[in-house]
Amino acid sequence: MAFFEIKGISKSFGGLKAVDNLSFHIEKGEILGLIGPNGAGKTTAFNMIAGYFPPDKGEILFKGENITGQRPWTVCEKGIARTFQLSKPFGEMTVIDNIMVGAFARSRRREQVYRKAEEILELTGMTPLRDVEAHNLTATDRKKLELGRALATDPELLLMDEVVAGATPQEADAMMKLIRRIRDNNVTILIVEHVMKVIMGLSDRVVVLNYGKKLVDCPPGEAACNVEVLKAYLGERYVNPSDS
Amino acid sequence: MSGAQISSGPAGSSKSLKYIIGIAVFALFLAAPLLITSEYILHILIMTVYFAYLAVSWNIICGYVGQLSLGHSIFSGIAGYVSVLLFIDTGLSPWIGMFIGGLFAMMVGVAIGYPCFRLRGPYFTLTTIAFAELVRIWLENTDEFLGVQLKGAMGLLVPLRGDAPALFQFTGKEPYYYTILAMLLIAMAITFWVERSRLGYYLKAIKGDQDGAEAIGVNSTKYMLTAMAISSFLTGLGGCYYAQLFRYINPERNMGIDISIETALMAIVGGQGTIIGPVLGAFLLTPTGELARSFFGGALPGLHLVIYGLVLVLVVIFLPKGLISPLRYLIRKGVDRK
């Protein structure tokens, strides 16, 4: 029984097939990278896993249980948390209150929830921003808040959607360190990312999507040399099979 | 501002200043009937506290979640009718009838909330108005239903019992004043408890971003319905009080859209999503409305609504967070002066 598995999921929006018969699995404790050109279907796949909308076909299995089509709060309660590509802070609440909302998923007691939120602030380096109202945060800090909130729900599987977008190289390095720390805390990670350094550096394996279909599923090094992957990213004209 | 202030710093002293002000205000309210000689002014005070109570109850669902219900009088109306009918037909004391009426209102609240919460913004508001008007118009045109005399637009008179505290009737105005004051304090205490609890955090999160909230475990429908249940129950209790205060209930007075709008206005003007905000709003708008009605009511009926509108426009432009923002500012200034 795989820790997490999707089997043949598909999703169409009108005439557009965003995800086409996608299957892959995730091992407990690994970091799986999900990459592909823009429009490949990565966020749509995330949305289906997190329960934002159900797939037209196929199954999603978490720890052996079928969670296909379950609502986002149920999926969260079962142990899967996600961040959004366009972060969704609770604007008028302070940073610590935002994180407390996440922590309330596991406990009703305010003192316990407060302490958990403080731990998360410490882990993500946001302690100085504790009482800042979320709508006053910079874009990068909003992404950190998004991550902190998801972590507060004590997930076993964390879906991260482009957390490094728009970050400076130093910020990206700090984020990579943080992600590794999160993995060391027993959290399995599925990460979507465009910044190659980050995703190739972090992932144990990558799944490459193009036009909603899976191209390859292998360690990052192999994917970078794969002809089909190169064609998807660079276009047919720039890839000459005899050169690889 | 000096180093010596650090231990009881700005946060500490602002808390003690708030306590002092709170206790002083509370004492003033307790003593009010002894200090006020005019029956008319006491009546205005009672109405003000009553609207403060309604606004605080409304705020529990609408202020925190940020949706605008303009049909809340359906709860005070239905509960009022239930308690009055129980008294007329079975002699049940309105003190008990109140809670039964409140439960009815709560069930209606949850039943209405379920479809309404799927709607956003103006569509939600229009639907709440539709439900309230539906029931009001039905009542206005129904003299009898399932053997129960409803008397339609004529309304129901609560049978006079004179000095009968056990039946929620008093000869003087003072007991009515203390009753509604107690109800207001209880409603504010409930708001305080909700704000600090998981329910309160979840409601604010839903207001902030519903999708983001759902992704971190918030079943938005369940929690909005919970808040609605509390709010509609409390609003229902208020409607029963109102029926006992005037010993009369009819669809237009108790279930009209005017009360719904005024209640919402007071909470918004005073400061949504706070404990004291709705009270401030009620204390600004109710006396203003009463005075406008008594001075100009003959020559310019409805003037009080115009004034409410003006106040709302001014508040939205200059104090978008409500009257509570200058109050907080003044408290902070008072602390800094020390």
**Considering chain B, what is the average pLDDT of its residues?**
88
Determine contact, residues B240/A100, Cβ cutoff 8 Å: no
Question: Which alpha helices (DSSP H) does chain A contain, by range?
Answer: 42-49, 72-78, 95-103, 110-124, 139-152, 169-184, 196-202, 220-225, 227-234
- The predicted model scores a pTM of 0.88
B residues 16-75 closer than 8 Å to A (CB): none
Per-residue pLDDT of A42-70, as tens digits, reads 989 999 999 999 999 999 999 999 999 99
A residues 74-103 closer than 8 Å to B (CB): 76-77, 81-82, 84, 88-93, 97-98, 100-102
Q: How far apart are CA B336 and CA B10, in angstroms?
A: 7
Which of A82, A101, A146 lies at the smallest CB-CB distance from B205?
A: A101
Residues from chain A contacting residue B212 (CB–CB below 8 Å): 84, 88-90, 146, 149
Residues from chain B contacting residue A49 (CB–CB below 8 Å): none
Is residue B5 very low, low, confident or very high in pLDDT (cuts 50, 70, 90)? very low
Per-residue pLDDT of B214-237, as tens digits, reads 999 999 999 999 999 999 999 999
Is residue B2 very low, low, confident or very high in pLDDT (cuts 50, 70, 90)? very low
- Percent of chain B, pLDDT > 70? 95
Three-class secondary structure of residue A152 per DSSP: helix
- Region B302-323 average pLDDT: 85
Residue B147 has a pLDDT of 79
Closest residue, chain A, to B220 (C-alpha): A73
Neighbouring-strand partners of residue A209? A214
Which of B197, B204, B217 lies at the smallest CB-CB distance from A153?
A: B217
Residue B4 has a pLDDT of 37
Domains of chain B, start order: 17-337 (1.10.3470)
Chain A interface test: which of B196, B210, B216 (most A C-beta within 10 Å): B216
Chain B interface test: which of A78, A83, A87, A88 (most B C-beta within 10 Å): A88
Is residue B244 very low, low, confident or very high in pLDDT (cuts 50, 70, 90)? very high
Per-residue pLDDT of B58-70, as tens digits, reads 999 999 988 899 9
User: Quick check: B157 pLDDT over 90?
Assistant: no
Closest residue, chain B, to A82 (C-alpha): B215
Start-to-end CA distance of chain B, whole Å, equals: 8
Q: How far apart are CA B40 and CA B178, in angstroms?
A: 16
Residue B239 has a pLDDT of 95
**Using H for helix, E for strand and C for coil, what is the string for chain B?**
CCHHHCCCCHHHHHHHHHHHHHHHHHHHHHHHHHHCCCHHHHHHHHHHHHHHHHHHHHHHHHHHHCCCCCCCHHHHHHHHHHHHHHHHHHCCCHHHHHHHHHHHHHHHHHHHHHHHCCCCHHHHHHHHHHHHHHHHHHHHCCCEECCEECCHHHCEECCCCCCEHHHCECCCCHHHHHHHHHHHHHHHHHHHHHHHCHHHHHHHHHHHCHHHHHHCCCCHHHHHHHHHHHHHHHHHHHHHHHHHHHCEECHHHHHCHHHHHHHHHHHHHHCCCCCCHHHHHHHHHHHHHHHHHHHHCCCCCCHHHHHHHHHHHHHHHHCCCCCHHHHHHHHHHHHHHC
Residues from chain B contacting residue A50 (CB–CB below 8 Å): 215
- The string of DSSP codes covering A21-80 is EEEEEE-TT-EEEEE-STTSSHHHHHHHHTTSS--SEEEEEETTEE-TT--HHHHHHHTE
Asked if A92 and B207 come within 8 Å (Cβ–Cβ), the reply is yes
Asked if A104 and B204 come within 8 Å (Cβ–Cβ), the reply is no
A residues 2-41 closer than 8 Å to B (CB): none
Residue B3 has a pLDDT of 34
Q: Is B120 on the interface with A (CB under 8 A)?
A: no
Which of B196, B214, B216 lies at the smallest CB-CB distance from A149?
A: B216
Residue A89 has a pLDDT of 92
Closest residue, chain A, to B202 (C-alpha): A101
Asked if A91 and B211 come within 8 Å (Cβ–Cβ), the reply is no
For residue A106, the distance in angstroms to the closest alpha carbon of chain B comes to 9
Which of B196, B197, B201 lies at the smallest CB-CB distance from A101?
A: B201
Per-residue pLDDT of B263-297, as tens digits, reads 999 999 999 889 999 999 999 999 888 888 777 76
Which of B197, B198, B219 lies at the smallest CB-CB distance from A73?
A: B219
- Region B99-113 average pLDDT: 95
User: Quick check: B10 pLDDT over 60?
Assistant: no
Asked if B217 and A102 come within 8 Å (Cβ–Cβ), the reply is yes
Sequence spans of domains, chain A: 1-63+157-244, 89-155
Which of A72, A104, A146 lies at the smallest CB-CB distance from B202?
A: A104
Q: Which CATH number fits domain A1-63+157-244: 3.40.50.150, 3.40.50.300, 3.40.50.11900, 3.30.70.3450?
A: 3.40.50.300
pLDDT-flagged residues of chain A (< 70): 238-244
Element at A137 (helix H, strand E): none
Per-residue pLDDT of B161-179, as tens digits, reads 888 888 888 888 889 999 9
Asked if B217 and A97 come within 8 Å (Cβ–Cβ), the reply is no
Structure ipTM? 0.89
User: Quick check: B26 pLDDT over 60?
Assistant: yes
- Percent of chain B, pLDDT > 90? 52
B residues 196-215 closer than 8 Å to A (CB): 196-198, 201-202, 204-205, 207-209, 211-215
Which of B204, B215, B217 lies at the smallest CB-CB distance from A93?
A: B204
